[in-house]
Amino acid sequence: MDFRADQIERYSRHILLQDIGVEGQEKISKGKVLVVGAGGLGAPVLLYLAAAGVGRLGVIDGDVVDLSNLQRQVIHFTPDVGKPKVLSAKEKIRQINPDVEVVTYQAFFTAENAFDIIGGYDFIVDGTDNFPVKFLINDACVLGGKAFSHGGILRFEGQTFTHLPGTACYRCAFHSPPPPDAVPTCSQAGVLGAIAGMLGTIQAAETLKFLTGTGDLLTDRLLSFQAKSMTFRTVALRRRRHCPVCGEHPVITALHEAEQAVCELKKNETYPFI
């Protein structure tokens, strides 16, 4: 890949980094990353990956921009209220960096479309807001042999880890979604806007590390932070022999969705519980 003069200038602060250089920037520019959800986490992830010049950015989200999103979903602006989030996101990405190819999916990530969509990408970023889809992303990536970044935020807290084939997965630590009636509903929970930026930029950094092969990824470790005390901690995760999806005798061999609508929690949990 031959960079144009303007690209050399645009990416000069990456190229200056010994661990990245021109070669690393080439890897970023050839990278294909899917961001599931163009919301609180998806916004900073998309903005930084666009600025970094990731070759292809896929964005999947079936929602339209709501006024209550703007407190944290920094890729959407006030005039975007009512616009499909994927369109709003695409417009900003194109303005930040015309080098980036943007592929939009104005849909929700489901058991039916998951494999088709992730197939075209090297790395997947979870920027979703509910457990059924977080578990679905995990299962699709584990079964499909894809690397991904998990992210979750709540109130003043966030947590994330990175999965590579062979390392611990979300089910190794959390097994299955919590009882739906225990999950705080969206209106009850709330989140400090900047928390989304704190966690999303960690996910964006992990993505760039993955694409360039730089440093040690957040694999087999769960990073959590509590912003009220501003403390971070890392807990070791272990790939479990009895994990329902990546263990020795997996019971999840195809994709299913747990029945738990966003903000409208139902009882039925369709994943098998071993």
Partner 1 sequence: MSKSTIAINGEEREITLPLSLGELIKQNNVSQPDMVSIQVNGEFVFRERFDDTPVNEGDEIDFLYFMGGGR
**Least separation in angstroms between CB 177 and partner 1:** 8
122: CB partners within 8 A, 6+ apart = 31, 32, 33, 146, 147, 210, 211
Binding mask 110-149 for Zn ion (x = CB under 5 A): ----------------------------------------
Which tokens is 71 given?
């407190």
Structure tokens at 145: 């042999």
Q: Closer to partner 1 at the Cβ: 182 or 230?
A: 182
Contacting partner 1 within 71-90 (CB under 8 A): 73
Distance in Å, CB of 245 to Zn ion, minimum: 5
Smaller CB distance to partner 1: residue 56 or 239?
Answer: 239
Other beta carbons less than 10 A from residue 165's beta carbon: 12
Contact between residue 274 and residue 244 where contact means Cβ atoms under 8 Å apart: yes
Q: Does 128 bind partner 1 (CB under 8 A)?
A: yes
Q: Applying CB under 5 A, does 172 fall inside the site for Zn ion?
A: yes
Binding site partner of 178, from partner 1, Zn ion, none, Cβ cut-off 5-8 A by kind: partner 1
206 binds partner 1 (CB under 8 A): no
Which stretch, 8-16, 69-77, 96-104, 242-250, contacts Zn ion (CB under 5 A)? 242-250
Rg (the chain; Cα; Å): 18
| Angstrom distance (rounded) from CA 158 to CA 76 | 22
- Annotate each residue in 152-171 with x if it binds partner 1 (CB under 8 A) or - if it does not, as one string: xxx--xxx------------
Q: Does 233 bind partner 1 (CB under 8 A)?
A: yes
Quick one: which segment of 21-29, 98-106, 205-213, 234-242 binds partner 1 (CB under 8 A)? 234-242
Burial of 229 (0-12, 13-18, 19+ CB in 10 A): exposed
- 252: DSSP letter: -
Closest approach, Cβ 163 to Zn ion, in A, equals 9
Residue pair 156/241 in contact (Cβ under 8 Å)? The answer is no
Which of 169, 198, 199, 252 is in the footprint of Zn ion by CB under 5 A? 169
| DSSP states along 193-238 | HHHHHHHHHHHHHHHHHHHHT-S--STTEEEEEETTTTEEEEEE--
> Can you tell me the distance from the alpha carbon of 204 to that of 201, in angstroms, rounded to the nearest whole number?
5
114 binds, among partner 1, Zn ion, none (CB under 5 to 8 A by kind): none
Closer to partner 1 by Cβ: residue 165 or 178: 178
Residues counted in the chain: 274
Instruction: Work out whether 228 is an interface residue with partner 1 (CB under 8 A).
Output: no
Angle between helices 42-52 and 193-212 (to 10 degrees): 40
Inter-residue contact 43 to 76 (CB < 8 Å): yes
Binding site for partner 1 (CB under 8 A): 37, 39-42, 69, 73, 126-131, 134, 151-154, 157-159, 172-175, 177-179, 182-184, 189, 191, 196, 222, 224, 233, 235-236, 238, 240, 242
Binding site for Zn ion (CB under 5 A): 169, 171-172, 243, 246
